[in-house]
A and B are shown apart, each in its own frame.
Chain A
Amino acid sequence: MTERDPESLDRLAAEYVLGTLRGPARRRFERLIAGDADVARRVEDWAQRLDPLAEAAPAIEPPAQTWPAIMRRIGPAPDRARRGLIEFLFGLPTEAVPSLATAGLWYCVSFWRQVGIASAAIAALLFVYLFIAPPSSPTHMALLADAANKPVLVVSLDLHHDRLTLDAARLPTAEAGKSLELWILPPAGSPRSLGVLPGGQLSLPLDMKAAEDLARGALAVSLEPAGGSPTGLPTGPVLYSGPVLPAS
Chain B
Amino acid sequence: MSDATLLAGFLAAAAKGDRGALERLYRATAPQLFGLAVGIVRRRDLAEEALQETFMAVWRHAARFDPARGTALGWMARILRNECFDLLAARGRETPLDPEFAESLPDLTDGPEALAEGGEDAVRLKRCLDQLEAQPRASLLLAYYQGLTFDQVAARLGAPLGTVKSWIRRSLVRLKGCLEP
Contacts and interface: CB of A to CB of B under 8 A. Distances in A.
Interface of A: 10-11, 14-15, 17-20, 22-23, 26, 44, 47-63, 66-67, 69-71, 73-74, 77-78, 139, 159-162, 188, 208, 211-212, 215
A208 B58 CA distance: 11
A10 B173 CA distance: 9
B144 A18 contact: yes
A66 B74 contact: no
A56 B17 CA distance: 30
A74 B59 contact: yes
Contact of A66 (B38, B52, B69, B172): B52
20 contacts: A10-B176, A14-B172, A18-B168, A19-B85, A20-B148, A20-B149, A47-B74, A50-B144, A52-B125, A55-B71, A56-B114, A57-B35, A57-B39, A57-B77, A59-B34, A59-B35, A66-B30, A70-B59, A162-B61, A188-B90
A162 B60 CA distance: 8
Contact of A56 (B118, B124, B168, B175): B118
Given A26-B89, A212-B57, 10 more contacts: A47-B74, A52-B71, A52-B119, A54-B33, A55-B119, A56-B113, A58-B39, A58-B106, A62-B48, A73-B52
B31 A53 contact: no
Given A19-B81, A19-B143, A212-B57, A55 B172 contact: no
A48 B113 CA distance: 19
Interface in B22-72: 22-23, 26, 30-36, 38-40, 44, 47-48, 51-52, 55-57, 59-61, 63-64, 69-71
A49 B56 contact: no
B74 A77 contact: no
Contacts of B140: 18
Q: By DSSP majority rule, is chain B's interface helix, strand, loop, or mixed?
A: helix
A20 B146 CA distance: 11
A77 B16 CA distance: 11
Given A19-B81, A47-B74, A62 B115 contact: no
A26 B39 CA distance: 20
B133 interface: no
Contact of A23 (B36, B89, B176): B89
Contacts of A77: 17, 19
B62 to A, nearest CB: 8
B122 A52 contact: yes
Contacts of A54: 32-33, 36, 73-74, 76-77
B51 A62 contact: yes
Contacts of B15: 160
B172 A11 contact: yes
Most buried by B among A55, A59, A159: A55
Contacts of A19: 40, 81, 85, 143-144, 147
Contacts of A10: 176
Nearest to B90: A188
Given A53-B115, A56-B113, A74-B19, A66 B60 contact: no
A53 B109 CA distance: 12
B69 A48 contact: yes
A109 to B, nearest CB: 27
Contacts of B124: 52
Contacts of A60: 31, 34-35, 38, 101, 104
A51 B144 contact: no
B169 interface: yes
Given A48-B70, A61-B31, A211 B60 contact: yes
A210 B31 CA distance: 28
